[in-house]
Structure 1
Amino acid sequence: MSNTGLEEGAIGFLSVYPRSRTSWFQQLLSLIYFEEHRKGIGNLETVDRVPFFEYNFRKMDFVERPSPRLFATHLPYYLVPRGLKNKKGKIIYIYRNPKDVTCSYFHFSKNVTLQVTSSFEEFMEQFLEGKAKGEESQFRYRLGTLHCHKSLFNIQFLMYEEMKKDLKGSLSKVCKFLGKELSEEEMDSIVRQATFQNMKYDPRANYKNIIKTRYGLEAKGHFLRKGTIGDWKNHMTVEQNERFDKIFQRKMKDFPLKFIWDMNEE
Structure 2
Amino acid sequence: MSEVQSSFQQALIGNRNMEDTNKFLTKFKGCYFGNTQLNLEFLENLDDFEIRDDDVFIITYPKSGTSWFQQLLSLIYFEEHRKGIGNLETVDRVPFFEYNFRKMDFVERPSPRLFATHLPYYLVPRGLKNKKAKIIYIYRNPKDVMCSYFHFSKNVTLQVTSSFEEFMEQFLEGKVLGSLWFDHIKGWYEHKSLFNIQFLMYEEMKKDLKGSLSKVCKFLGKELSEEEMDAIVRQATFQNMKYDPRANYKNIIKTRYGLEAKGHFLRKGTIGDWKNHMTVEQNERFDKIFQRKMKDFPLKFIWDMNEE
* TM-score normalized with structure 2 length: 0.78
* TM-score normalized with structure 1 length: 0.90
Residue 37 to residue 181, structure 1, CA distance change in 2 (3 Å):
same
Residue 144 to residue 170, structure 1, CA distance change in 2 (3 Å):
farther
Q: Is the 8 A contact 1:3 1:180 kept in 2?
A: no
Per-residue deviation, 1:71: 0.3
Per-residue deviation, 1:86: 1.8
Identical counterparts, % of pairs: 92
- Equivalent residue for 2:4? none
Per-residue deviation, 1:164: 0.2
Residue 45 to residue 245, structure 1, CA distance change in 2 (3 Å):
same
Supply the distance in 1 between the matched residues of 2:68 and 2:62 (Cα, whole angstroms): 12
Supply the distance in 2 between the matched residues of 1:44 and 1:189 (Cα, whole angstroms): 18
Per-residue deviation, 1:10: 3.7
Q: Which runs of 5+ in 1 are unaligned?
A: 133-142
Per-residue deviation, 1:156: 0.3
Residue 255 to residue 88, structure 1, CA distance change in 2 (3 Å):
same
Per-residue deviation, 1:88: 3.1
Q: Is the 8 A contact 1:5 1:178 kept in 2?
A: no
**Which structure's CA Rg is the greater one?**
2
Residue 3 to residue 111, structure 1, CA distance change in 2 (3 Å):
closer
Question: How big is the alpha-carbon RMSD for the aligned residues of Structure 1 and Structure 2?
Answer: 4.5
Q: Is the 8 A contact 1:77 1:145 kept in 2?
A: no
Higher relative contact order (CA 8 A, sep 6+): 1
Per-residue deviation, 1:118: 0.6
Supply the distance in 2 between the matched residues of 1:252 and 1:124 (Cα, whole angstroms): 18
Q: Is the 8 A contact 2:61 2:178 kept in 1?
A: no
Show structure 1 runs of 4+ deviating over 6 A: 1-8, 143-146
Supply the distance in 2 between the matched residues of 1:118 and 1:90 (Cα, whole angstroms): 38
Residue 230 to residue 243, structure 1, CA distance change in 2 (3 Å):
same
Per-residue deviation, 1:117: 0.6
Q: Which moved more, 1:253-262 or 1:37-46?
A: 253-262
Per-residue deviation, 1:20: 0.4
Q: Is the 8 A contact 1:96 1:259 kept in 2?
A: yes
- Equivalent residue for 2:98? 54
Residue 4 to residue 24, structure 1, CA distance change in 2 (3 Å):
farther
Per-residue deviation, 1:8: 6.9
Per-residue deviation, 1:21: 1.1
Q: Mapping of 1:84-233 within 5 angstroms?
A: 84-132=128-176, 149-233=191-275
Residue 14 to residue 35, structure 1, CA distance change in 2 (3 Å):
same
- Equivalent residue for 2:24? none
1:53-112 C-alpha deviation (Å, 9 max, x unpaired): 101111111111111110000011111111111213000000000000000000000011
Residue 166 to residue 7, structure 1, CA distance change in 2 (3 Å):
farther
Residue 219 to residue 190, structure 1, CA distance change in 2 (3 Å):
same
- Equivalent residue for 1:3? 48
Q: Is the 8 A contact 2:89 2:247 kept in 1?
A: yes
Per-residue deviation, 1:153: 0.3
SS in 2 for 1:156: strand
Q: Which runs of 5+ in 2 are unaligned?
A: 1-45, 181-190
Q: Which moved more, 1:81-90 or 1:154-163?
A: 81-90
Residue 119 to residue 2, structure 1, CA distance change in 2 (3 Å):
closer
